[in-house]
Chains A and B, each alone.
Chain A
């Protein structure tokens, strides 16, 4: 089976103030289609860089990144990407923001309006089509972002701490909705997060990274049953890794 994402011995460094910063050092990772993988590790260790490589927004210095069998070269239009920033166009209403991907693909207007409405129904935002982003709460804007990301049916979602800017309550609700949606659509996900609980609750698999330069330290499989005991054990394991021995 061709992995959805195949990262092979990649190395990536950036030009920094005092010289080159090595972000990723010989990282290899495979993600199966439909798999929900969380990437956790200390701040600034390079997890976001890895996501950018899969998205095609950056190129590795060494190694290969492949998506669904093809090498990634240039922006990867088959993935959806969400970050902490909503990245909504402030001058467009919700409907036009969601339809953006279809507009770029030159889908005729009636069809994209219909599909946009459908997406909004999916994320429980029917009735807010004409609102501007500034008129919505953080959680609602997140859902609009989600609708916009999903509308062009990407093969996989890349998420970089997408729920970080939300308050704890909204975050829990959105996580639940998100899990439901993603499972329903059978989408693969690569999620970068600091929230260990989030990682344990949502993913099938957790990959733990070391501090910069990032190397994979552990690859934890989350049991499907996800009993409270399982989750606790996993969280303790993650805490141990992040406790400082791996720096």
Chain B
């Protein structure tokens, strides 16, 4: 039904139509059937967002959320990947360490927010700590899995060429590690945002999460929705970007050798 070029256009039109219809319904119902204080309306949200854009509020908070997510991914990702690769390469280390990692993974990371606030105070540090902790696990699993899955045939073939340790690291493990890094990225990005926003909502410190919360507290539904929508776009946009980049890269982990 949706084949080919015409089909794609048709799909897009239907999607736009759905969005338009939802917005229209929302606008209509607000004030008539639904309490505008609770649900606001598309026009009110737009007004609020525009005001914020002009004053730079939205950009500032979005940037605050975004840069912590990035920093957290790099920090947690780097540590997680290195640790994961080490565990993947050494069965003994794996047996020793993996139970702890799995146990730690079971705990909802947001529960750590109060602890981090007590340790680091309310500010960017606790947000960074939480994001890094959350993303750590995804890269850890990615790295361990990746290190284990370097095909034995590849390792053997390389062994027969007689490389020294340094060559092995640079020729095989680091490049492979990079492709595992990308694989970790795809799962980690949404969770990184969850972590930052979680920290913002719970501890009310800057960023889009805190913005949503403070507006909700002030009964300003438009503001709250505007913040939520911006966050949705930011998160979805980043995920899409990472997915696109990873797909095009020659560093795809598991690309058929």
Contacts and interface: CB of A to CB of B under 8 A. Distances in A.
Contacts of B157: 81-83, 87
A81 B172 contact: no
A55 B156 contact: yes
A55 B160 contact: yes
A79 B159 CA distance: 11
Interface in B234-257: 250-252, 255-257
A77 B257 contact: no
Identify which of B156, B158, B160, B257 gathers the most chain A CB atoms within 10 Å of its CB. B160
B177 to A, nearest CB: 11
B156 A81 contact: yes
B159 A75 contact: yes
Contacts of B154: 85, 87, 89
Given A77-B161, A79-B160, A100-B161, A85 B153 contact: yes
Interface string A52-76: 0001110000000000000000011
Nearest to A145: B157
Interface in B153-179: 153-154, 156-163, 167, 171-172, 175-176, 178-179
B257 A85 contact: yes
Contact of B161 (A90, A92, A134, A152): A152
A76 B160 CA distance: 6
A83 B161 CA distance: 15
A85 B155 CA distance: 11
B175 A104 contact: no
A235 interface: no
Contacts of A92: 175
Nearest to A81: B160
A132 interface: yes
Given A57-B156, A91-B178, 7 more contacts: A55-B160, A57-B159, A89-B257, A91-B175, A100-B161, A104-B171, A105-B161
17 contacts: A55-B160, A57-B160, A75-B159, A81-B160, A83-B156, A83-B157, A85-B151, A85-B257, A87-B154, A89-B154, A89-B257, A100-B161, A104-B162, A104-B167, A105-B161, A132-B250, A134-B252
Interface of B: 151, 153-154, 156-163, 167, 171-172, 175-176, 178-179, 250-252, 255-257
